[in-house]
A = this chain, B = another copy of it.
Amino acid sequence: MTSNQPRHTIALDAMGGDVAPSEPVKGAVLAAREYGLRVLLVGDADAVHTELAKYDTTGLPLEVVPSEGVIVEGEHPVLAFRQKPSASVAVAAGLVKDGKADAFVTMGSTGAAMAVCVLTWGLFPGLNRPALGGNFIGLAPKTTIVDLGSQVDVKPAQLLNFATLGCSFAQHYLGVKEPRAGLLSVGSEAGKGNKQVQEAYALFEKSSLRFVGNVEAHEIFTDKADVIACDGFVGNVLLKYTEGLGLALEAYLTEALGPDSPVIEGLSGLASAAEQGGGPLFGVNGLVIIGHGRSKAENIAHSIFTASDIAAAGLIDAMRNDLSSALETVSAQVEN
């Protein structure tokens, strides 16, 4: 980090994740130490201080912001947010809204984070729900897939929104100059796919996207498109399949090569990038990185760094503008 780069402040949901608050607190310490980032640890103050006391935090820009309660997986997110307005994830989103943090990071319930962000920050004009996007497979490191599980029943226009948000992400964050957008389908020709994809194809052709047509799933690995749109059911199935496959491969290779082979570590990252740090929520007026509940401290530190990196790129404003322009293009065509 150079002195020219502003030091970002990232709020961390210290109560979110399978091993909270210990892993998040350790992750915050690592992020402050390695990346020089200011981290606001949001959680039960006693529990967080107890964890913090395990590390030498002298001089590190860490602060504890107290919260009450946690929204866990399985709760109805909107109801839980109303019942627990001081839950860690809600307080973290509030810090961003109030300008006290540039972004927040959570390894807690995805549903809770989505509901809280929508209700606290609001959606981009034209959207009904946010989308989850990003890269989850190290073997295709620059490919952005949207949606990864936010919207499981979608209309063709929503697929177009996913692609638009994904292209904005690819351009402004990943540095892809003219992102190529594709539609995940089961054949390369225009007529192939389910009804949803067939109808979306016509919409994509009329859009301002650089549309490369249908992308078959094996083409995720052949760089046919930078951004691939699919409904959240399919995206989430692919994400979790990749995760399961990565673990199964790791077990197989550990048996075949011994536990210390460098191939194993490299491969588990390649097969499942999802656990490396999580991805941003697309379509809300604020920046949140939602990571895997199983994330270790190193992954959490990396997510905090990613949050700072995305904030520096001004991604949220760029996305809102790109979506707005795209929606104008489509509606102009519908009128003509």
- Report which A residues bind B (CB closer than 8 A): 74, 137, 139-140, 149, 152-153, 184-186, 189, 193-195, 197, 216-222, 230-234, 236-245, 247-249, 252-253, 256-257, 263, 266-267, 270-271
Contact = CB atoms under 8 A, between A and B. Distances in A.
Contact of A218 (B149, B185, B241, B253): B241
A291 B271 CA distance: 26
Nearest to A243: B218
Q: How many copies does the complex hold?
A: 2
Given A221-B245, A237-B238, A256-B266, 12 more contacts: A186-B233, A193-B233, A216-B240, A217-B237, A217-B238, A217-B240, A219-B244, A220-B241, A221-B248, A222-B244, A230-B237, A249-B267
Contacts of A218: 240-241, 243-244, 247
B186 A236 contact: yes
23 contacts: A139-B249, A139-B252, A152-B194, A186-B236, A194-B231, A194-B233, A217-B237, A217-B240, A217-B243, A218-B241, A218-B243, A220-B241, A220-B244, A221-B247, A237-B238, A238-B238, A245-B245, A249-B267, A249-B271, A252-B267, A252-B270, A256-B263, A256-B267
Residue from the set A152, A230, A241, A267 with the largest chain B CB neighbour count within 10 Å: A241
Nearest to A73: B187
A231 B197 CA distance: 14
Contacts of A252: 139, 266-267, 270
A49 to B, nearest CB: 35
A242 B248 CA distance: 13
A112 to B, nearest CB: 14
Contacts of A153: 194-195
A316 B185 CA distance: 31
**What is the interface of chain A mostly: helix, strand, loop, or mixed?**
helix
Nearest to A186: B236
Contacts of A241: 217-218, 220, 238, 241
A152 B256 contact: no
A128 to B, nearest CB: 16
A332 to B, nearest CB: 31
A131 to B, nearest CB: 14
A248 B139 contact: yes
Contacts of A238: 217, 237-238, 241
A3 B333 CA distance: 72
A244 B221 CA distance: 6
A248 B220 CA distance: 10
Nearest to A153: B194
The 3 residue pairs across chains A and B that have the minimum distance between CB atoms = A218-B244, A217-B241, A217-B240
A200 to B, nearest CB: 13
Contacts of A233: 185-186, 193-194, 197, 234
A245 B139 contact: yes
Nearest to A272: B218
Contact of A237 (B221, B222, B234): B234
A261 to B, nearest CB: 9
Nearest to A218: B244
Nearest to A137: B245
Contacts of A240: 186, 216-218
